[in-house]
């Protein structure tokens, strides 16, 4: 895919959604961090339902740590893998309190040192909470990048590197949100909705189905 096509793709995505947001509910960087940890192999909807119960009771490292694993599990048991996630969140809260004064660090190395925080989670927090240029490649973004030809790659790191290189600079900050929403609602896994896709004429996917 050439630079002219990429520029037009992101121009249209921006035109349709000038101020894209994550669908995870949060009000602070810490709330976002915990929501993203909980969202692994779970839907944003299920995470939002759990945090809607949790955050009014505890939404700081100190308050969630005070709940303990058992106490936290009671709020998040509707989310898949809640036991291991509860352990990770409690340990993350402990480390935030001990190492960072209860604040979420604003650099990748410190974030990835927290339990349950991998490269994707760190990138989400850096980009969404702190507005740093970072690209969190999940299954949706990996699929869209490969299927359209925007940034094909064999693994998530390769796709991330290409996106950071090829996405036009003016659109790079919000590209993660546009791509994930496009993959979630239009360029879906089983049968992409090509007939109602805003960028169908620019996409290089060979086997485009109709919307029938």
CATH topology of domain 3-20+135-202: Endonuclease Iii, domain 2 (1.10.1670)
Q: What angle do CA 85, 88, 92 make, to 5 degrees?
A: 135
Domain ranges for the chain: 3-20+135-202, 29-130
Known binding residues for [4Fe-4S] cluster are: 187, 194, 197, 203
Q: Kindly report whether the global pTM for this prediction surpasses the value 0.85.
A: yes
Residues 6+ away with beta carbon under 8 Å from 162: 145, 151, 152, 153
User: Residue 206's pLDDT is what?
Assistant: 87
Class in CATH terms, 29-130? mainly alpha
**What are the mean pLDDT values of the chain's consecutive 10-residue runs (212 residues total)?**
95 96 96 96 94 97 97 94 94 97 96 95 96 94 96 96 96 96 94 93 85 54
Known binding residues are: 187, 194, 197, 203
- 211's tokens: 């919307």
């Amino acid at each position: 895919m050439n630079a002219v096509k990429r520029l037009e793709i992101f121009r249209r995505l921006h035109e349709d959604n000038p101020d894209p947001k994550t669908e995870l509910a949060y009000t602070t960087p810490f709330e976002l961090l915990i929501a993203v940890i909980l969202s692994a192999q779970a839907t944003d909807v299920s995470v939002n339902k759990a945090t809607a119960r949790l955050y009014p009771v505890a939404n700081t490292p100190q308050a969630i740590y005070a709940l303990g694993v058992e106490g936290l599990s009671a709020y998040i048991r509707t989310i898949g893998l809640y036991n291991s996630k509860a352990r990770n969140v409690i340990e993350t809260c402990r480390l935030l309190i001990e190492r960072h004064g209860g604040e979420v660090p604003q650099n990748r190395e410190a974030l990835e040192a927290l339990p349950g925080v991998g490269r994707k989670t760190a990138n989400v927090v850096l980009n969404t909470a702190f507005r740093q240029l970072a690209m969190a490649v999940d299954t949706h973004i990996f699929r869209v990048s490969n299927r359209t030809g925007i940034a094909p790659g064999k693994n998530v790191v390769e796709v991330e590197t290409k996106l950071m290189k090829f996405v036009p600079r003016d659109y790079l900050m919000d590209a993660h949100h546009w791509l994930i929403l496009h993959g979630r609602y239009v360029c879906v896994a089983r049968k992409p909705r090509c007939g109602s896709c805003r960028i169908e004429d620019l996409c290089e996917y060979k086997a485009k189905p109709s919307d029938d």
